[in-house]
Amino acid sequence: MVDFTPEQLRTLVAVIDEGTFDAAAARLHVTASAVSQRIKALEQAAGQVLVQRVTPVEPTEAGRHVLRHAREVALLGAELERRLASSGRDGEAVSIPIAVNADSLATWFLPALIGLGPRSDVLFDLRRDDQEHTAEQLRRGEVVAAVTSVKEPVQGAVSTSLGVMRYRAVCSPAYVEAHLGGVAHVSRIANAPVVDFDRKDMLQLRLYREVTGRETRAPRHFVPTSTDFARAVVGGLGWGLLPDQQCAAELERGELVRLGGARSVRVALYWQRWAIGSSLLAEVTDAVVAAARATLLRR
């Protein structure tokens, strides 16, 4: 039977989260040498290499399994601490890493966490990524839950439908005049500037391909924050797909117009979380699901 100490498991989590042995040492208030010794002891107990000594440090495939175990131990340990706290013993806050897409983070997700109220037993570690890639972080053991467009649960997780985020193809009136010859229609955007979130963002390119059957060669602006992405579109930098929550008021005020001939894009979102008996994770799940269903479309 593999026997890991809590100290070794905490050190593995710190090394992966912080990216270097030195940063992990600072987080744990020990020396880098102590961190190295703990990781070596952990690998000896496992009988194989668990981390790749690169920058940032990456877990091996075996390391991902141990990393997940380490996070589960931390969560379940926090449950015990909470019970002991009711008997007068103070517990340490547990970190809950969650992968979430930028548009959810900028609109409905943070209010869900804030709605849990002030608390000293949990720290949130939000990892932003495209909704098509957040489930991969869960699979690798980097996070304990994820907002994702992937419905099928990763191994050892459960999946819950959150709702649908609807995106509309929009641009500013000034953009229509400058780049589309005064006609706000998708047939005019083949060579007109487009705003993409980053190089993983395929929403705009995919929409154009589906509507026209062609690939676009348009110049691409990259604006990697959701709020600034919306500002870039409103400001006329390019056309883009914005969720209802970020364009409804602007459309009503005339600051944005819809591109004719372009259907809305619907992205179904799911909450995937590890299937472990953590009441803390269950509380977070209830808050996230409630906030999503109060904001997102049902279908």
- CB-based contact 182:216 (threshold 8 Å): no
- Classify residue 155: in a domain, yes or no: no
Residues whose CB is less than 8 angstroms from the CB of residue 248 and which lie 6 or more positions away in sequence, other chains included: none
Buried b (16+ CB within 10 A) or exposed e, 267-297: bbbbbbbbebebebbeebbebbbebbeebbe
Count Cβ atoms below 10 Å from residue 144 Cβ, excluding itself.
28
Domains: count for the chain: 2
Q: What is the pLDDT of residue 121?
A: 77
Confidence bin at 93 (pLDDT 50/70/90)? confident
Residue 262 in any domain: the answer is yes
Q: Specify if 227 maps to a domain.
A: yes
Q: What is the mean pLDDT of residues 182-189?
A: 95
DSSP code, position 210 = H
Between 25 and 88, residue with greater pLDDT: 25
The overall average pLDDT reported for the chain is 92
Residue 293 has pLDDT above 90, yes or no: yes
Contact 226, 108 (CB under 8 A): no
What are phi and psi for residue 97, nearest 5 degrees?
A: -80, 130
Q: What is the CA 256 to chain-centroid distance, rounded?
A: 28
| pLDDT greater than 90 at residue 75 | no
pLDDT band at 117 (very low <50, low <70, confident <90, very high): confident
**Domain final position from 63, 89, 115:** 89
The answer to whether position 5 is within a domain reads: yes
State which residues form the domain around 216.
Answer: 165-266
* 67: Cβ contacts below 8 Å, ≥ 6 apart: 12, 13, 16, 59, 140, 141, 142
DSSP 90: -
| pLDDT average, residue stretch 125-145 | 93
CATH number at residue 219: 3.40.190.10
For 247, the enclosing helix (H) or strand (E) is helix 244-253
Query: CB within 8 A of 267, min separation 6: which ones?
Result: 131, 149, 164, 165, 166, 167
Task: Give 266-278 pLDDT, tens digit per residue.
Answer: 999 999 999 988 8
Residue 115 domain flag: no
- Residue 86's pLDDT is 56
Which CATH number characterizes residue 17's domain?
1.10.10.10
Residue 214 forms part of a structural domain: yes
Res 223: pLDDT: 97
